[in-house]
Amino acid sequence: MKKFGARVKGTSILLLTAALWGFAFPAQIAASEHITALSYTGVRFALGALPLIPVIALLEKNKDKDKLRVTIIWGSFCGLLMFLAIIAQQFSMNYIDSSGEVSFLTAMYMLIVPVIETIMGNIPKPRVWIGVFLGCVGMLCLTLKNSFTVEPASILLLGGALLWAIHIIVVGKFSDKIYPITFALSQFSVTAILGIFGMFLFESPSMDSMVASWPYILYGGLVSVGIAFTCQIIGQRYAAPETAAIILSTESIFGAVGGVIMGEPMLSLREIIGCVLIFGGILLSQITAKKERGKTND
């Protein structure tokens, strides 16, 4: 009964995470019209990090030094991955104005996970590769334009997807060996520091741009960062990596729905087919991966 309760808790938390992430895509696209990528990222993650400080003081007092060291080291590493992935995503939104396209291409990280696991020696069954193949076909449907070329922004998004895949694997590996909220604060702080440093080094930040994009900064900082990424870390403590990947992949659906709500143009038939293929590939690769892992554990 306890295991069932833990699964329900993990599923609920991760589904909430996916929804909050998904609705952040149209907010990010809207923000890109007013504020530059490094400025938005730095301010957004600083805003997401600050509320965690009093929470840590209340919930994670009297820490074990070794566990704290592991938490900060790997939290900082994930912060670097997060910064690079977010910047790739944010820069791409200067050229891609569809939340559906951005969210489904970002969701390719779910298909990259079994590829990385193969490199690490955990070779999946052929059905997983069918899922990866479907996802790749779907990716081409989304990214190939009328001239049969792939836009650089799409390649940038796929590079970000690779970084997100590594991030998920690392979080899954260490989720039961860390202080989750301190881990979240570590990665948010690194991302914020790098973003703010880059903002002053490469951009010309202005108060006008901050004011113009304040609703998107608030959502992106307090909700998508402060709440959602912390929920991811907590939720993955109650779910296997494959299960977490399936649930988190629904962020792409929430992203597409959020774009429509925000008044973005509907995707073309070819792009919708691409989204369906990517999501189908994600489900096939992750569900079969879970089944095979279950068999090896018997």
Classify residue 10: in a domain, yes or no: no
pLDDT of residue 145: 62
The torsion angles phi and psi of 262, rounded to 5 degrees, stand at: -80, 0
Residue 85 lies in a domain: yes
Rounded distance, CA 275 to CA 280, Å? 8
Q: List all residues 6 or more positions away from 273 whose beta carbon is below 8 Å from its beta carbon.
A: 138, 141
Q: Is residue 2 part of a domain?
A: no
Instruction: Decide if 137 is inside a domain.
Output: yes
Helix (H) or strand (E) holding 232: helix 228-235
pLDDT at 198: 94
Specify the pLDDT at position 281. Answer: 81
At CA 125, angle to CA 119 and CA 172, rounded to 5? 55
Report the distance separating Cα 89 and Cα 298, nearest Å. Answer: 40
Lookup: tokens for 13: 């938390």
Stated pTM of the model: 0.79
pLDDT tens series, the chain, 298 aa: 666 677 778 888 988 998 998 898 888 888 888 888 899 999 999 998 988 888 888 878 777 889 999 999 999 999 999 999 999 988 888 887 778 788 888 888 877 887 887 787 776 677 777 877 888 888 777 777 655 566 788 888 889 999 988 998 888 788 788 888 899 899 999 999 999 999 999 988 888 888 888 899 999 898 988 888 778 878 877 877 667 777 887 888 888 888 888 777 777 787 788 888 888 887 776 665 444 444 444 4
Q: Is residue 3 in a domain?
A: no
Cβ neighbours of residue 224 closer than 8 Å, sequence gap 6 or more: 20, 21, 23, 24, 27, 44, 48
Residue indicated by tokens 């007092």 = 61
What amino acid is encoded at 121 in this protein?
G
Structural domains in the chain (count): 1
C-alpha 145/C-alpha 283 separation (Å) is 26
1 lies in some domain: no
Provide the pLDDT for residue 149: 62
Determine the structural domain holding residue 287 and report its residue range: 16-296
Asked whether residue 48 is domain-assigned, the answer is yes
User: Does some domain include residue 220?
Assistant: yes
